[in-house]
């Protein structure tokens, strides 16, 4: 079918995939495009040539990869072998409009269940400016977060309240007092605590903010505390107001579980940076033939309004590879539109078993300090206490950015020297 000039110049959404199929790969790509635009098992009366030309999804490219003997996913059509391919499809923006949940219904949706596919993973998305500009995006991004915390340069050094579960509001506030006096820039609730009966936000927020406001009055520095307000949309908006009214400067949500529709809804309401926690993300990346890449997903989370996005960390206790961690963080730091004046980057949040030892490798790979670097034991476990722990992490990052080896920098920085003896290198990278 010939595509008219008119259709060629309309904005399109493109999505790239890694697929595995018992079919011919071109045939599989065509099936995917059909299923997600005008396809069904009968050609229908209303499905005119004009409609097809205007609305059909298009196969933009197909690149053959390896062939495997057994299917990666259950339920696929039987085949002699299963061919892998990298493919790109595109849709007219007009099919979807500017909506994140409906974008996902189109570019992923039923594709995940097609018997034509024994592997289906979304690897990348490119959105037209008309789509991008329909969303407010991150409200604070990196510069806003730096302004609120007074950290002009270097990573924000952060930590997570532990134990994750069970601390009373008063005990939390006591711990926050230690941490802010130790010089921390950023503190977050664990994702396991939001508004439980033993520590309701109505008590935790005032208790914590009293400590932080006092500290700010004495020192002129106000560390950022990300209160986990995860809940239903109305609860989150109320909790946001509670945090704001007590002088809080950040709210956190479990983005996978609240969902796109509520992240957009929270952003519309919010006057504070939104800290996006992605617990559950393993469901999307642990098998290479199902799910989606964070490179694709973080685009949607940023458009929806996340200012900070978790990316795990190098040498962490989690299953993600270091390469994937850096790819995710780099993606978060890449503007969505070239030449736009709007800052739509998200600040990547490194966490899980981070210590002085990951600063060099993280900086070397990312070539940026626009990040939040959270340590638990890496700060609290310092033999000379949390303040020495904070100083040692700062020193490690200074060494990294100045290109000085940790061991050399430690000669001038006693807290770093102690940390070097106390913390084992987690990996060889």
Candidates 369, 340, 332; CA nearest to 146 is: 369
CB hemisphere CA count around 120 (13 angstroms): 23
Contact pick of 320, 370, 413, 415 for a second copy (by CB under 8 A):
320
Contact pick of 167, 242, 309, 366 for a second copy (by CB under 8 A):
167
Question: Cα 132 vs. chain centroid, distance in angstroms?
Answer: 17
Site for a second copy in 236-255 (CB under 8 A): 236, 253-254
Which two tokens mark 47? 């499905």
Distance, CA of 196 to CA of 201 (rounded, Å): 8
Which two tokens mark 287? 């098998």
Show the site string, 348-377: x = touches a second copy by CB under 8 A, - = not.
-----x----------------------xx
Three-state secondary-structure class, residue 278 = coil
| 143 vs 168 by CB, closer to a second copy | 168
Pairing of strands 308-310, 347-350: parallel
Residue 170 interacts with a second copy (CB under 8 A)?
A: no
Residue 123 interacts with a second copy (CB under 8 A)?
A: no
Contact pick of 24, 234, 271, 412 for a second copy (by CB under 8 A):
234
Least separation in angstroms between residue 309's CB and a second copy is 15
Select from 209-217, 317-325, 356-364, 406-414 the region that touches a second copy (CB under 8 A): 317-325
Site for a second copy in 83-102 (CB under 8 A): 94-97, 99-102
Site for a second copy in 387-426 (CB under 8 A): none
Residue 4 interacts with a second copy (CB under 8 A)?
A: no
Distance, CA of 185 to CA of 5 (rounded, Å): 54
Residue 166 interacts with a second copy (CB under 8 A)?
A: yes
Residue 198 interacts with a second copy (CB under 8 A)?
A: yes
Show the site string, 199-228: x = touches a second copy by CB under 8 A, - = not.
------------------------------
Surface-to-core class of residue 339, CB atoms within 10 Å of its CB (0-12 exposed, 13-18 middle, 19+ buried): exposed
Contact pick of 19, 28, 84, 104 for a second copy (by CB under 8 A):
104
Least separation in angstroms between residue 318's CB and a second copy is 4
Which two tokens mark 127? 């959105």
Per-residue CA distances from 237 to 201, 230, 247 (Å): 13, 10, 16
Contact pick of 21, 289, 358, 374 for a second copy (by CB under 8 A):
289
Least separation in angstroms between residue 331's CB and a second copy is 18
Report yes or no: 156 and 326 within 8 Å, Cβ to Cβ: no
| 36 vs 88 by CB, closer to a second copy | 36
Contact pick of 63, 65, 202, 319 for a second copy (by CB under 8 A):
319
Distance, CA of 152 to CA of 363 (rounded, Å): 17
> What b-and-e string marks burial along 258-271, b requiring 16 or more CB atoms within 10 Å of the CB?
bbbebbbbbbeebe
> What b-and-e string marks burial along 343-359, b requiring 16 or more CB atoms within 10 Å of the CB?
ebbbbbbbbbbbbbbbb
Contact pick of 11, 196, 323, 335 for a second copy (by CB under 8 A):
196
């Amino acid at each position: 079918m010939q595509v008219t000039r008119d259709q060629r110049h309309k904005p399109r959404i493109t999505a790239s995939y890694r697929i595995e199929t018992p079919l011919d790969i071109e045939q599989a790509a065509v099936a995917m495009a059909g299923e997600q635009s005008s396809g069904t098992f009968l050609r229908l009366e209303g499905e005119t040539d004009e409609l097809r030309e205007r609305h059909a999804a298009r196969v933009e490219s197909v690149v053959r990869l390896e062939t495997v003997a057994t299917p990666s996913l259950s339920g696929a059509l039987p085949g002699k072998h299963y061919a892998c391919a990298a493919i790109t499809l595109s849709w007219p923006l007009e099919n979807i409009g500017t909506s994140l949940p409906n974008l996902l219904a189109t570019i992923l949706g039923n594709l995940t269940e097609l018997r034509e596919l024994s592997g289906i993973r979304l690897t990348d998305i490119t959105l037209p400016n008309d789509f991008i500009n329909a969303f407010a995006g991150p409200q604070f991004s990196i510069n806003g977060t730096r302004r609120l915390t007074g950290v002009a340069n270097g990573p924000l050094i952060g930590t997570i309240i532990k134990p994750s579960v069970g601390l009373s509001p008063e005990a939390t506030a006591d711990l926050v007092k230690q941490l802010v006096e130790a010089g921390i820039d950023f503190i977050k609730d664990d994702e396991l605590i939001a508004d439980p009966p033993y520590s309701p936000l109505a008590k935790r927020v005032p208790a914590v903010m009293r400590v932080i406001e006092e500290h700010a009055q004495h020192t002129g520095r106000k560390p950022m505390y990300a209160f986990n307000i995860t809940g239903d949309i109305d609860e989150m908006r109320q909790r946001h107001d509670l945090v704001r009214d007590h002088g809080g400067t950040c709210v956190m949500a479990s983005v996978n579980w609240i969902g796109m529709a509520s992240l957009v809804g929270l952003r519309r309401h919010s006057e504070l940076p939104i800290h996006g926690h992605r617990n559950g993300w393993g469901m999307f990346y642990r098998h290479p033939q199902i799910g989606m890449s964070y490179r694709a997903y973080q685009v949607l989370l940023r458009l929806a309004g996340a200012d900070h996005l978790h990316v795990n960390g190098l040498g962490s206790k989690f299953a993600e590879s270091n390469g994937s961690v850096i790819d995710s963080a780099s993606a978060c730091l890449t503007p969505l539109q070239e030449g736009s004046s709007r800052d739509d980057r998200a600040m990547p949040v490194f966490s899980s078993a981070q210590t002085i030892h990951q600063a060099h490798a993280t900086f070397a790979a990312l070539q940026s300090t626009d990040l939040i670097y959270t340590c638990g034991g890496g700060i609290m476990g310092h033999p000379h206490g949390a303040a020495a722990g904070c100083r040692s992490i700062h020193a490690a990052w200074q060494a990294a950015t100045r290109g000085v080896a940790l061991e050399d920098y430690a000669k001038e920085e006693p807290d770093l020297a102690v940390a070097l003896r106390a913390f084992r290198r987690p990996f060889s990278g």
